[in-house]
Amino acid sequence: MKTALDTYGAGAGGTRNIAGNSALHLRLEGELAALHRKEAALVFSSCFVANDATLSTLCSSLPGCVIFSDKMNHASMIQGIRHSGARKHVFDHNDLGHLEQLLAQYPRSTPKLVAFESVYSMSGTVGRIPEICALARKYGAITFLDEVHAVGMYGPHGAGVAEHYDYAASLHTPAGQRIPGSVLDQVDIITGTLGKAFGIVGGYIAASSSLVDMIRSYAPGFIFTTSLPPPIAAGAVASIEYLSASQRERYLQQTHTRQLKGDLANAGIPVVPNPSHIVPVLVGDAESAKAASDMLLAKHNIYVQSINYPTVPVGEERLRITPSPGHDNYMRARLVSALDSVWNTLGLKRTVDWERLGGRCGVGEDRAFSELH
Give the tens place of pLDDT for each residue, 137-186.
Answer: 999 999 999 999 999 999 999 999 999 999 999 999 999 999 999 999 99
Question: Residue 356: pLDDT above 50?
Answer: yes
Secondary structure of residue 290 in the 3-state scheme: helix
Residue 365: what pLDDT? 86
Please answer whether residues 66 and 236 qualify as being in contact, where contact means their C-beta atoms are separated by less than 8 angstroms. no
Residue 19: what pLDDT? 87
Please answer whether residues 28 and 251 qualify as being in contact, where contact means their C-beta atoms are separated by less than 8 angstroms. no
Secondary structure of residue 222 in the 3-state scheme: helix
Residue 368: what pLDDT? 53
Q: Which of 38, 196, 261, 349 is catalytic?
A: 196
Residue 367: what pLDDT? 57
Backbone angles phi, psi at 24, to 5 degrees: -70, -40
List % helix, strand, coil for the chain (3-state, nearest 5). Answer: 45, 15, 40
Question: Residue 257: pLDDT above 80?
Answer: yes
User: Is 196 designated active site?
Assistant: yes
The whole-angstrom separation of Cα 242 and Cα 152 is 10
Residue 371: what pLDDT? 47
Q: Residue 74: which of 218, 155, 192, 208 has the closest Cα?
A: 192
Question: Residue 243: pLDDT above 80?
Answer: yes
Q: Give residue 126's pLDDT band: very low, low, confident or very high (50, 70, 90).
A: very high
Q: Can you tell me the mean pLDDT for 34-45?
A: 98
Question: Residue 372: pLDDT above 60?
Answer: no
Backbone angles phi, psi at 119, to 5 degrees: -115, 120
In the chain, where does DSSP find H-type helix?
2-8, 23-35, 47-61, 75-84, 96-103, 129-139, 161-164, 167-172, 183-186, 209-218, 220-223, 230-245, 248-266, 286-300, 329-346, 351-356, 367-372
User: What average pLDDT does the chain have?
Assistant: 96
pLDDT tens column, 187-220: 999 999 999 999 999 999 999 999 999 999 999 9
Q: Specify the amino acid at residue 272.
A: V
* Percentage above 90 pLDDT, the chain: 96
Question: Residue 369: pLDDT above 60?
Answer: no
Q: Can you tell me the mean pLDDT for 251-267?
A: 97
Question: Residue 245: pLDDT above 60?
Answer: yes
The whole-angstrom separation of Cα 228 and Cα 159 is 21
Q: Can you tell me the mean pLDDT for 291-304?
A: 98
Question: Residue 234: pLDDT above 80?
Answer: yes
Q: Residue 72: which of 115, 112, 120 has the closest Cα?
A: 120
Q: Can you tell me the mean pLDDT for 28-49?
A: 98
pLDDT tens column, 309-348: 999 999 999 999 999 999 999 999 999 999 999 999 999 9
The whole-angstrom separation of Cα 71 and Cα 333 is 35
Backbone angles phi, psi at 209, to 5 degrees: -60, -40
What own/partner pairs with CB < 8 Å and gap ≥ 24 does 322-328 have?
322/277, 322/278, 322/279, 323/253, 323/256, 323/257, 323/260, 323/277, 323/279, 324/253, 324/256, 325/248, 325/249, 325/250, 325/252, 325/253, 325/256, 326/252, 327/256
Give the distance, in angstroms, between the CA of residue 349 and the centroid of all CA atoms in the same chain.
29
